[in-house]
Chain A
Amino acid sequence: MTVDDADEGDERLVLVRYGELAIKGKNRSEFEKALARNIVSAAAAISPVEVERLRGRMVVHPKRRAERVARRLVDVFGIASLSVARRCSNDVDSIAELAERELTRALDEHTGPTPIPFRVRTRRSDKRHPLTSTEIDKLIADRVLPARADRLRVDLDHAELVLGIEVRERDAFVFAGRERGLGGLPVGTLGKAVCLLSGGIDSPVAAWMAMKRGCDVVFASFHSAPYIGEGSRRKIVQLVKRLGRWQPRSRVASIPFTAIQEAIRDSCPEGYRTVLYRRSMQRLATELAGREGAGCLVTGESLGQVASQTMENLTCIGAAAKLPVLRPLICFDKQETIDIARRLGTFEISNLPEPDCCTVFLPARPVIRGVLSRCLDAEARIPLTELEANAFEHMEVTDV
């Protein structure tokens, strides 16, 4: 807790802006409710907050620590940008007084070279206000600039520090600067998706991207005890917890996969093993989606990244899913995925030395161009329906 957080009381608020395009039409109210809910939940660990919905804006009132709440909200999907602001009545004197305070604070925190290119930018939602936006810009600039002539230099086109003013019917917001949000859509507004989560680097990133587009992601993980230890399950939980920054509550289904893997390994052509394991996972994930009311699957597959992800093999694998399969990373290079995983903080967890598939199940020479009819022939040799039903029945579901 910083000193300035402590002495600001509850005056400061967080002004949240969200993209306009997504909120047209009937979905608007649902979108806003979900965003408000997600904001409250994200801020909870820092401060209780109240959310006020205005036209095209949300005003978040933290009980304390407004700066930290704002830093946290940057990671809430659906937010285009936000500012820590103060509210006052909409007369020029009140606005000027807050402008002084916010500028003083911004300059105290500034460490770069001076003078800083600066401007005032007013946005007027109350068009009946006696002054135009430009007039307010000028009036306020004239009040705040003279005392800071050595540190601020007006530059309307390339301002680094923008003193923002939003004038409304009865009040006004004043703020110095704004943070960009992640954009996207509030988690949950586009429905549920089941993500097949391995312990690897890709699938957590894929899940994150689906969350970004408004999916509420349910996780399916497959466990090969006793070939693989309890540590792998812990790794899955760690990954989901890390993604909790973007999706606060997540459901994780741990599906026992040993019997299926053994049957495929023992009775199917060796080269097809991986493809067949994955087909089985797609069927189980589809089943889980049915139970959870999810409308699609999400995988971390990337074209050509490994033998099982050639175009032909992806076709064989995808054919087992009864729902659309979202593959957000399909055209990403590995490094691009790693870069995101590092930013998310999942990379270090994925790199923990906990295997997600035991080496005894891996084929020596995996097939590169799988053929669907051969998959189907192989699957006909083993009682897969029964094995999969049994696995599904023994699935463990936990909420993280």
Chain B
Amino acid sequence: MERSIYLDCAATTPVAREVKAVMVPYLEDEWGNPSSRHARGVRVMSAIDEARASLAALVGIADEGVVFTSGGTEANNLAVLGAARARSARVGGTGHVLLGPSEHPCVSRAAEALAEEGFDVETGRHADDGALDLEDFVERMREDTVLVAVMLASNEHGGTYPVRTIASRARERSPHAHVHTDAVQAFGKLALDLPELGVDSAAVSAHKVHGPKGSGALLVAGNAPLRPLFFGGGQERGVRSGTENPAGIVGFVRAAVLADDSQEETLAHLRRLRGVLASEIDALERSVRVLSPGGENAVLPSIAAMLLPDPPDAPAEVVLHHLEERGVLASAGSACNSKKKDASPAMTSLGLGPEEVLRILRFSFSRSTTEDDVRVGVRALGDVLEELASKIEPARADRRP
């Protein structure tokens, strides 16, 4: 395989060897349908039961609260659509839905679908320091609010949100509300304990924590009602019909257990990486600004969104491909040719202009990222910025009278 420095762990992570090892039997000999009544099926269901119990114990909920899904997107859709629809009757029809200011599209677009059904959908805003404007957010909670959804940490800039406070304020102000958090990025890095957070549900995904793609779960506390998105054979207690994905489930749970075992070390490791990033960026002497909404301590240290300098007048996507040429894989906040109106709301709500949003480059780390990876990555970034400045700026200067 090509050698590269992979700094795009918020997109996905490599499957851990131990994870693959527990999956293989379910792709080879143990191919039974978990719903079958014969032993071949029952054995597989037992493995799923065991996985379910492990995951439930990790996050402090009952086994029945684990709904295995095809990943984070489905889990978030199930929470947003399923919870709002299940509760709308209590508030006399539709109801009010309140979202955090930088939710992932699998939350915000699902909420758009609710708006089309007649729900009143509202979005919170960031305060000047980039943190959630909590007071404003709490103000928006209403008697008829059926859903409050705020992510634990942003996939775009790593900013975290005070989900625990939000959940407890929601209990006071909105008795009918289901409180959901998208924990896809935070899972495995921050401790996730549902009763402690006080939320009704959290969405998690396997492939962000060295598990397989196509697997995830909605973790549900208590008996929060959910209307299913899929109907069929009644699997997952009727909330998510469809034959289970045994290899994906056991792989996911193994990955979750591994992540949980090392969660504190991982967090400490990620903080060190962010420290290395900061000092390497200082050494570049170029005005690369690492975004830290709400202050450095409030940012998930696995994600570093960097505002690149101008000059060079190059979008982050161009920088990204130049980095790729040097073997460093990263991601850009927005595609080069994306229209201004498509600029990420998470970024614009941090006060960045459309031109600036195009200059956001993201490095993201996992426990397998090394300090050297970060050093090489930042130095390569320095080289690319220098190269682009020398290539692009003279031509621009030329045309200025």
Closest chain A CB from B115 CB (angstroms) = 25
Are B391 and A262 touching (Cβ within 8 A)?
Answer: yes
Q: Which residues of A contact B320 (CB under 8 A)?
A: 229
Partner-binding segment picked from A88-96, A315-323, A357-365? A357-365
What mask results when residues 378 to 401 of chain B are scored 1 for a CB within 8 Å of chain A, else 0? 000000000010011011001100
CA distance A358 to B318 in the complex (A): 8
Instruction: From B125-133, B191-199, B331-339, give the one contacting chain A.
Output: B331-339
The residues in A between 316 and 362 inclusive whose CB is less than 8 angstroms from any CB of B are: 353, 355, 358-360
Check if B336 sits within 8 Å of A358, measured CB to CB.
yes
Within the complex, the shortest CB–CB distance from B317 to chain A, in Å, comes to: 7
Q: Which of B313, B325, B336, B394 contacts A266 (CB 8 A)?
A: B394
Cα(A226)–Cα(B335), bound, Å: 15
- Report A-chain residues with C-beta under 8 Å of the C-beta of B321: 225-229
B324 touches A (CB below 8 Å): yes
Judge whether B324 and A360 touch: CB under 8 Å.
Answer: no
In the complex, A364→B338 CA distance in Å? 18
Residue contact A229 to B324, C-beta cutoff 8 Å: yes
B395 engages A353 (CB within 8 Å): no
Min distance, Cβ A157 to any Cβ of chain B, angstroms = 51
Q: How far is the CB of B46 from chain A (nearest CB, A)?
A: 39
Q: Which residues of B contact A225 (CB under 8 A)?
A: 321, 325
Interface centre among A227, A228, A262, A359 (most CB of B within 10 A): A227
Instruction: Specify which chain B residues have a CB less than 8 angstroms from the CB of A265 in the assembled complex.
Output: 395
Q: Decide if A166 is an interface residue (CB 8 Å cutoff).
A: no
Contacts of B315 in A (CB 8 A): 359-360
Shortest beta-carbon distance, A72 to chain B, in Å? 33
A270 at the interface (CB under 8 A from B): yes
A217-228 Cβ-contact flags toward B at 8 Å (1 or 0): 000000001111
Q: Is the CB of A226 within 8 A of B391?
A: no
CB closest residue in chain A, given B398 = A270
Contact check, B391 vs A266: say whether CB atoms are below 8 A apart. Answer: yes
Query: Could you say which of A262, A355, A360 contacts B313, with CB atoms under 8 Å apart?
Result: A360
Chain A contacts for B224, CB-based, 8 A: none
B314 at the interface (CB under 8 A from A): yes
Determine if A359 and B395 form an interchain contact, defined as CB atoms under 8 angstroms apart: no
Contact assessment for B398 and A227 in the assembled complex, using a CB-CB cutoff below 8 Å: no
Residue contact B317 to A229, C-beta cutoff 8 Å: yes
**Given A225-B321, A226-B321, A229-B317, A355-B395 contact (CB < 8 Å):** no
Instruction: Tell me whether A227 and B395 are in contact in the complex, defined as CB-CB below 8 angstroms, given that A353-B338, A359-B336 are known contacts.
Output: no
List chain B residues, Cβ under 8 A from A227: 318, 321-322
B398 / chain A contacts, CB cutoff of 8 Å: 270
CA distance A254 to B323 in the complex (A): 21
Which residues of chain A come closer than 8 Å to B392, judged between CB atoms? 360
Q: Which residues of A contact B317 (CB under 8 A)?
A: 229
Given contacts A226-B324, A265-B395, A270-B398, contact A353 B314 (CB under 8 A): no
A353 contacts which of B313, B337, B394, B399 (Cβ < 8 Å)? B337
Q: Which chain B residues lie closer than 8 Å to A229 at the CB level? A: 317, 320-321, 324
Nearest residue (CB) in B for A356 is B337
Q: Which of B181-235 contact A (CB under 8 A)?
A: none
Partner of B336, one of A226, A262, A355: A355
Q: Which residue of A lies closest to B399 (CB)?
A: A270
Report the Cα distance A353→B332, complex, angstroms. Answer: 14
Chain A residues within 8 Å of B394, by CB: 266
Question: CB-CB contacts of B40-55 with A at 8 A, as 1s and 0s?
Answer: 0000000000000000
Contact A360 B314 (CB under 8 A): yes
**For A353, what are the chain B residues with a Cβ–Cβ distance below 8 Å?**
335, 337-338
Which B residues between 314 and 364 are near A, CB-CB below 8 angstroms?
314-315, 317-318, 320-322, 324-325, 335-338
- A225-B321, A229-B320 as given contacts; A266 in contact with B337, CB under 8 Å: no
A359: chain B residues at CB < 8 Å are 315, 318, 336-337
CB distance from A32 to the nearest CB of B (A): 47
- A270 to chain B: which residues have CB within 8 Å? 395, 398-399
Residue of A nearest to B339 (CB): A353
Residues of A within 8 A of B338 (CB): 353
Tell me which residues from 244 to 272 in chain A have a Cβ below 8 Å from any Cβ of chain B.
Answer: 262, 265-266, 270
Nearest CB in chain B to that of A271: its residue: B399
Check if A226 sits within 8 Å of B322, measured CB to CB.
yes
| CA of A270 to CA of B388, assembled, Å | 18
CB distance from A43 to the nearest CB of B (A): 36
9 nearest interchain CB pairs? A226-B321, A226-B325, A355-B337, A226-B322, A270-B399, A229-B321, A266-B395, A353-B335, A227-B318
Q: List 20 A-B contacts (CB under 8 A).
A: A225-B321, A226-B321, A226-B322, A226-B325, A227-B322, A262-B391, A266-B394, A270-B395, A270-B399, A353-B337, A355-B335, A355-B336, A358-B336, A359-B315, A359-B318, A359-B337, A360-B314, A360-B318, A360-B388, A364-B399
Given contacts A226-B324, A355-B337, A359-B315, 8 further A-B contacts (CB under 8 A): A225-B325, A227-B318, A229-B320, A266-B391, A355-B336, A358-B318, A360-B388, A364-B399
